[in-house]
A and B are shown apart, each in its own frame.
Chain A
């Protein structure tokens, strides 16, 4: 069984966002890039666990990004995986990204594709389901547990106000969140081994984006906090009712 893990590079969670070029771009000076947490902690680690358990054969990692994303995909390889593929394109349109990955995936034929619940930069949560459509495969989002036996996946996923257990044949695309696996720290052996593992650079398929970001905006500063004395909770309730109009 072959697994593909989709790895997106994102600014570290503690990054302060600064705009530039008349608010048409994010200033990436001083920004530290990391593997999207959902991709690393859940999708990648679960793929490695399945390999370690002898259920999966090859585990490939794919990222859509220019050369500057190589340190991050190398870091992912240091956790494990047999090879990494970088599709040489810069995209923030999920349709475009999904098409690049799908076209590549078709050339190999993966049984299972794992991605994260969403990327913490553009927060679309869209690439996984799009990939499934493009590959004529099923998709399960918000997964919190993945078991694979024979050609069947048993997946727990979040539903409104609860949880559901789904059974699906492969091929399948799963978007992972908390619960799927426990985060790991790469060790020295992994880091050394990663150097010798192949990082393939692939030319993107001919696809055009269908959205474009025209500009950005930072949220307005909060209008200042109102402090209420801990002895006067009636006042707080009154403010929430009469001023904020939320109760």
Chain B
């Protein structure tokens, strides 16, 4: 018996959120008196896999089929099923990100296993197998008990701090015999937005609203983002007016972000906007209207004209970086 965790990688790198998933799995394994087996699909260097030991994985099952370098949800499901069977796993963990959300529900349906989608806590074993998750777009939390024998969890990225330990995972190859349907979807084209930090994973986000007045002023947002190493986002009317590309729109009908820092510039803070950002650890609001509702959700506020404040803030970050070299 062991806990299985899907570890994804991108162009040879394992991201922080994937280490977080391994560490989460390791902690559950410890509580339930078992071990963690990480499942790596596709091409990844051995030392990257051994490295997973630093976050608590004892073992890696590696399905080294290069077709798995891209998401094929059914093939991923087959591979995880094979791994779960091999390890007699009762608990399967993935991330609550685009790929995890395509694979984990399939596993749940296949195994008649209860799913908690977007876990924010470790399971409370005293009350059953109870996990906290956000509901109503962050306006409340629910404590969900999984009652089935097998359990599937997708962990919300950026929920836990990483703590490295000493350790090196052993690598074992796993052969999976895939069926035709596993690769039924053909990928015709992939377009990555070059040089930008993907919003969903960003630790720092600078976001602009209608208070920025027009697309000609976005250089100010970009300068600050660049200085901080942050991703950029916007409110819905900004994307609807084509001031910014659609993928930057966050909120109820756009993307959801959970950064350490969200800087909202000239955004009023409508409830539909907050729904996409209320998982942020720290929120800074810059708005000329002291009554703007966003201030109620903020940790730090600056009342004033964004067009004047932004260059000062960018300069202050630059100076700070020089002093902390």
Contact = CB atoms under 8 A, between A and B. Distances in A.
Which secondary structure characterizes the binding site on chain A? mixed
Which secondary structure characterizes the binding site on chain B? mixed
A131 B110 CA distance: 10
B247 A230 contact: no
A124 to B, nearest CB: 4
A234 B320 contact: yes
Chain A's interface size range is 35 or more
Given A19-B140, A122-B135, A209-B147, A133 B105 contact: yes
A241 B299 contact: no
Nearest to A141: B102
A54 interface: no
Given A160-B97, A246-B282, A120 B144 contact: no
A38 B188 contact: no
A237 to B, nearest CB: 5
Contacts of B272: 13-14
Contact of A158 (B98, B188, B296): B98
B198 A226 contact: no
A212 B299 contact: no
Given A230-B309, A233-B313, A124 B117 contact: yes
B254 interface: yes
A98 B127 CA distance: 26
Interface string B221-246: 00000001000000000000000001
B281 interface: yes
A95 B112 contact: yes
Nearest to A164: B190
Nearest to B283: A222
Contacts of A32: none
B142 A239 contact: no
B88 interface: no
A240 B300 contact: yes
Contact of B301 (A129, A159, A166, A226): A226
B69 to A, nearest CB: 13
B259 to A, nearest CB: 8
Interface of B: 10, 71, 73-74, 77, 97-99, 101-106, 108-110, 112-118, 127-128, 130, 132-148, 181, 184-193, 196, 198, 200-201, 203-204, 228, 246-247, 249, 252-254, 260-261, 271-272, 275, 278, 281-282, 284-285, 295-305, 308-309, 312-313, 315-317, 319-320, 324
For the complex of A and B, 4 pairs with smallest distance between CB atoms: A230-B304, A210-B114, A161-B198, A129-B105
Interface of A: 11, 13-17, 19, 26, 37-38, 41, 93-95, 98-99, 120-134, 136, 138-142, 144, 154, 158-169, 177-179, 209-219, 222-223, 225-231, 233-234, 236-241, 244, 246-247
